[in-house]
Amino acid sequence: MREGRVLKALGGYFFVHDFESKEVYRCTIRGRLKKEDCDVVTGDLVKFDLLDDGSGVVEERLERKNSLFRPVIANIDQVIITFAILEPDLDFKLLDRLLVLAEVADLEVTICINKVELASLEVAKKRLLPYQKVGYRVIYTSVKEELGLNALKEVLKDNVSVFAGPSGVGKSSLLNAIQPGLELKVGEVSQRIKRGRHTTRHVELLSLDNQGWVADTPGFSSLDLSFITTEKLQYFFPEFINYLGQCKFSPCSHSHEPQCAVKEAVAVEEIATHRYQNYLQFLEEVENKKRGW
Ligand SMILES: Nc1nc2c(ncn2[C@@H]2O[C@H](COP(=O)(O)OP(=O)(O)OP(=O)(O)O)[C@@H](O)[C@H]2O)c(=O)[nH]1
Ligand SMILES: [Mg+2]
Ligand SMILES: [Zn+2]
């Protein structure tokens, strides 16, 4: 049997990239799989057979490494969390929220800051310094001035990547710039609100020349953190890890408790204040949900 990767699921068909022939076949799915409630989504690795008419039938879905619920996609290596330095303004709370979601899903993360020419590289680097200190990889790009595109290509090489980030930051533009021929639809940022409406809708894996695969999606459109427990949230802020277990109280929520090692680290600027503030806000969200508010 052949093996391949589902690039797109559309109208009951699955478009499968054959690992050997490198061709894409339009496949249906064996009724048995449907009965077993075995769903097949973009990114799934499957076994399939070819019929005489050149179409295929998916016979088996291989085990998933991971999967995201929104967008629905499986077997991702990494997420490129993309923001613009301006237009729309860089929303650090949303950035931190996406970072938490990526940590929960145990995905490799690259932060991509686009439209740097609207500020300057120095300004952009300064604003992202706290994230670099935490250990996140940050790349700076401008589609307009063709900056940082090779760095982005390098990150995408040989990986299955998902783009996440608000509308209008230039995710589709970046992909068009690094992979001529894609011709993804690019939206106009509304002048009035300086924010786009998501131009990209369905989930499709696109092939890159350097063996990479990438999904151009809004990414993590469900931004709800309330499924996380209060005890777990702290682990999704990597800069907290060194201080955990050093607080006077155990457990410590690092909010109201005295002699809290995390708060002390914030006081001496070992942990960025805005990151801590966002932690507190997410904590409140998680706690409110638990109380059923
Ligand atoms: N100044 C500037 N504008 C850019 C840059 N990159 C993209 N844009 C513009 O930003 C707007 C939005 O770009 P898109 O690529 O559609 O953004 P997106 O992130 O894919 O948006 P959605 O698909 O809606 O999620 C377009 O008008 C682009 O031309 C850049 O580096 N500098
Ligand atoms: Mg887009
Ligand atoms: Zn504490």
Q: What is the CATH classification number for the domain harbouring 93?
A: 3.40.50.300
Phi and psi at 216, nearest 5°, equal -95, 95
| Alpha-carbon span 138 to 119, nearest angstrom | 16
Token pair for residue 38?
């075995």
Q: Does residue 76 sit in the same domain as residue 200?
A: yes
137-140: strand order across its sheet: 137-140, 108-114, 78-84, 160-164, 213-216, 205-207
Task: Provide the 10 A C-beta neighbour count for residue 105.
Answer: 16
Q: Does residue 73 sit in the same domain as residue 155?
A: yes
Q: What residue type is 25 in one-letter code?
A: Y
Domain boundary among 168, 186, 216: 216
Q: Does residue 111 sit in the same domain as residue 193?
A: yes
In a domain, 153, yes or no: yes
Radius of gyration of the chain (CA): 21
- 49 is in which domain, residue-wise? 2-63
Find the 170 Cα to ligand 2 centroid distance in Å: 7
Positive or negative: CA dihedral 202, 108, 269, 260: positive
Task: Provide the 10 A C-beta neighbour count for residue 213.
Answer: 21
What's the confidence (pLDDT) of residue 222?
62
| Alpha-carbon span 141 to 94, nearest angstrom | 19
Closest ligand 1 atom number to CA of residue 118? 1
What's the confidence (pLDDT) of residue 191?
44
Q: Which residues surround ligand 3, an ion (CB under 5 A)?
A: 247, 252, 254, 260, 262
Domain boundary among 188, 216, 244: 216
Q: Does residue 131 sit in the same domain as residue 240?
A: no
Domain boundary among 216, 243, 260: 216
Q: Does residue 74 sit in the same domain as residue 44?
A: no
Find the 192 Cα to ligand 2 centroid distance in Å: 19
In a domain, 189, yes or no: yes
In a domain, 282, yes or no: yes
| Alpha-carbon span 293 to 285, nearest angstrom | 9
The protein residue whose alpha carbon is closest to atom 25 in ligand 1 is 167
Find the 166 Cα to ligand 2 centroid distance in Å: 9
Q: Count of domains in the chain? A: 3
In a domain, 223, yes or no: no
| CA atoms within 13 A of residue 208's CA, in its CB half-sphere | 24
Q: Does residue 93 sit in the same domain as residue 166?
A: yes
Does residue 219 line the site of ligand 1, with CB under 6 A? no
| Alpha-carbon span 242 to 226, nearest angstrom | 25
Number of alpha helices (DSSP H) and beta strands (DSSP E) in the chain: 8, 13
| Alpha-carbon span 80 to 102, nearest angstrom | 10
Closest ligand 1 atom number to CA of residue 147? 31
Q: Does residue 155 sit in the same domain as residue 190?
A: yes
Give the β-pairing of 67-68 and 73-74: antiparallel
| Alpha-carbon span 171 to 214, nearest angstrom | 11
Does residue 212 line the site of ligand 1, with CB under 6 A? no
Task: Provide the 10 A C-beta neighbour count for residue 18.
Answer: 16
Cα 158 to chain center, whole Å?
Answer: 17
Place of tokens 């909010």: 255
Does residue 122 line the site of ligand 1, with CB under 6 A? no
Q: Does residue 36 sit in the same domain as residue 87?
A: no
Per-residue pLDDT of the chain (293 residues; tens, 9 = 90+): 999 999 998 888 999 999 999 999 999 999 888 777 778 999 999 999 999 999 999 999 999 999 887 778 899 999 999 999 999 999 999 999 999 999 998 899 999 999 999 999 999 999 999 999 999 999 999 999 999 999 999 999 999 999 988 889 999 999 999 998 888 888 755 444 444 455 545 688 999 998 899 987 755 556 788 889 999 999 999 999 999 999 999 999 999 999 999 999 999 999 999 999 999 999 999 998 777 65
Find the 185 Cα to ligand 1 centroid distance in Å: 10
Q: Does residue 83 sit in the same domain as residue 209?
A: yes
Q: Does residue 195 sit in the same domain as residue 277?
A: no
Q: Does residue 100 sit in the same domain as residue 198?
A: yes
In a domain, 253, yes or no: yes
In a domain, 225, yes or no: no
- Distances, alpha carbon 235 to alpha carbons 44, 60, 289, in Å: 29, 36, 19
Positive or negative: CA dihedral 151, 152, 157, 161: positive
In a domain, 222, yes or no: no
- Domain with 268 in it: what CATH number? 1.10.40.50
Q: Does residue 128 sit in the same domain as residue 243?
A: no
